[in-house]
Amino acid sequence: QVQLVESGGGLVKPGGSLRLSCAASGFTFSDYYMSWVRQAPGKGLEWLSYISGSGDSISSGDSVRGRFTISRDNAKNSLYLQMNSLRAEDTAVYYCTRDSIPYFDSWGQGTLVTVSS
């Protein structure tokens, strides 16, 4: 069965950086687009970025474009999110999702990122 396991969350100061990882298993990773979706505490869901199976097509939402970078390593069945210039409003649970264009058919359990001084 599809399994997505995020890691790398934690406490970071405003202006700092963090790299999230997602380990995928149970499906042919390189066949699928993948996306990151986040949820601020007590708030709704926000799509952040997607990457194609080969990695040659990437798109990001306005709120993170230029600060966050999605990438993948198909040899390691892993998805990444490099987050720079972090702000307090980036505090959220970050979910790795399998993207079946244009819906998210599998979700990880999430990793919490807290941006605070």
Partner 1 sequence: QSVLTQPPSVSGAPGQRVTISCTGSSSDIGAGYYVHWYQQLPGTAPKLLIYANTYRPSGVPDRFSGSTSGTSASLAITGLQAEDEADYYCQSYDNSLGRVFGGGTKLTVL
Q: Which residues of the chain form contacts with partner 1 (CB under 8 A)?
A: 35, 44-47, 50, 59, 61-62, 95, 100, 102-110
Pairing of strands 111-115, 10-12: parallel
Nearer to partner 1, 58 or 84 (CB): 58
CA distance linking residue 100 with residue 98, whole number of Å: 6
Nearer to partner 1, 29 or 36 (CB): 36
Q: Is 58 left (phi over 0), alpha (psi -120 to 50) or beta?
A: beta
Residues linked to residue 24 through DSSP beta bridges, in sequence order: 4
Q: Do residues 107 and 4 touch, judged by C-beta distance below 8 A?
A: yes
Nearer to partner 1, 5 or 16 (CB): 5
Q: Please, what is the minimum distance in Å from the beta carbon of residue 46 to partner 1?
A: 7
Q: Please, what is the minimum distance in Å from the beta carbon of residue 99 to partner 1?
A: 8
Coil vs helix vs strand at 90: helix
Q: Please, what is the minimum distance in Å from the beta carbon of residue 113 to partner 1?
A: 15
Q: Please, what is the minimum distance in Å from the beta carbon of residue 17 to partner 1?
A: 24
